[in-house]
Amino acid sequence: MPATTENNHNQGSFLGRISIRRNQVMSMSMDGIHNTECEEMELFQRHVAERFAELLSCTDEPEAFMSIGWLRKLLDEFLCCEAEFKAVILMGRDPFQIAKPPLDKLLPELLDRIIKSLDVCNAVSLGIDSLRNIQRLAEIVLSALDQTLIGDGQVRRAKKALSTLLSAMLHEDKDGGITKGTERNRSFGRRGNKDKDRSAAAPFRSLSWTMPKNWSAAKQIHAMSSNLAAPRGNESSGLALPVFIMNTVLVFILWTLVAALPCQERSGLGTHFQMPRNLSWAQPITALQERISEEWKKKEKKGTVGLLEEMQKMEKIAQWLLDFADSFQFPAEADKLEEVKAQVEELADICRKMEEGLEPLQLQIREVFHRVVRTRTEFLHVLDQAAKLNIPTS
């Protein structure tokens, strides 16, 4: 994606500036150090605001918002925010600064959210597997109806696939959006050619498991957001602020993925996450959250595989084609066949986007999984260092 190169450039520039400033710390007065840290945190806030403002601008393009491409850009932005956050908190900093109040309380909360986020990553990945199965059903419809002359046999075949496809899409999410017509696969794996898929899935086995039946994506998001409180007083201008920002961004990213993609048990998801409204860096995130919540409430009543743009289009096309199949009589009228041809072409375009985009999206979710695990390990190492340095010598 073009955004990835640009984000990596911006990320590298930011990390470079942090590194230069931290190398100058030893020659600074305490006031100078404080001013530098304030500049770093202001820059971090501005970057967060800019990144999500750019994502918000895509909401004016109906075909882009909540699409596979938009979600990939969302994850790009998260990974950049996460790298900048670690630069602000960890780079060149004394472990004692990390271990003292208020971070001694806030960081363990962040590390706990990271643990919870891993289950969400796995559940969302299972949802992508279910989308692949839906894509295969759509491809059966394409092979049946993408014909110069459509007969009863082709229509019966398409109707069977369409019925199964719509049943899967309108399921109530009790089993991750997957019904009898679509197989439940493991995370980061695919069915098909066994030798090819075994090789392709090999790097992802550490993230391959099914979710417990009583696990709920909505409850997990609620648990992650329930004690998310903005720092107050002097803490609002210190290191507590970037920790709060990172907590907020992490929860928002996962909440959005759960809303967009099939995920196990999402009842009430729209009411489980409230964004801070009075902070400048959070305004574009709040606007995105409100927009997504509105769309979610419309869809939640009937059950759906999520708000993914490609799925919304596929649902409409599949319903139109099923109505056509129900009323089909051979030979079909020329005007009706032209309409079928247009719908089939649009469905083929959706399948192409899914074929090109779902695997890279799943790889990005894998990267998020491993990145936050690595971040948690780095923070635990620093906290452990601080604890050892604080042990009195005999």
User: Which among 318, 303, 330 is positioned nearest to 159, based on CA atoms?
Assistant: 318
Is 47 a member of any domain? no
- Contact partners, residue 3, CB within 8 Å, separation at least 6: 73, 76, 77
Give residue 335's domain range. Answer: 97-389
Neighbouring C-beta atoms of residue 58, cutoff 10 Å: 18
pLDDT per residue rounded down to tens, the chain (394 residues)? 444 545 555 555 545 554 444 444 444 444 445 566 788 889 999 999 999 999 999 877 767 899 999 999 999 999 999 999 999 999 878 888 888 888 988 999 999 999 999 999 999 999 999 999 999 999 999 999 998 889 999 999 999 999 999 998 876 444 444 433 333 333 333 334 444 444 333 333 334 457 888 999 999 999 999 888 888 887 777 899 999 999 999 999 999 999 999 998 888 887 767 777 788 899 999 999 999 998 898 887 665 678 999 999 999 999 999 999 999 988 888 999 999 999 999 999 999 999 999 999 999 999 999 999 999 999 999 999 888 877 654 4
Q: Is residue 73 part of a domain?
A: no
Position 313 in a domain: yes
Q: Measured between alpha carbons, how far is 275 from 369 in angstroms, rounded to an integer?
A: 23
| 355 within a domain of the structure (yes/no) | yes
Give how many domains the chain has, as a whole number: 1
Q: Is residue 263 part of a domain?
A: yes
What's the chain's length in residues? 394
What is the radius of gyration, based on Cα positions, of the chain?
Answer: 24
d(CA 130, CA 262): 7
pTM of the model: 0.84
284 found inside a domain? yes
Residue 15 lies in a domain: no
Cα–Cα distance list, 138 to 61, 127, 180, 181 (Å) = 25, 17, 16, 12
Residue 82 lies in a domain: no
Cβ–Cβ contacts within 10 Å for residue 333, how many? 9
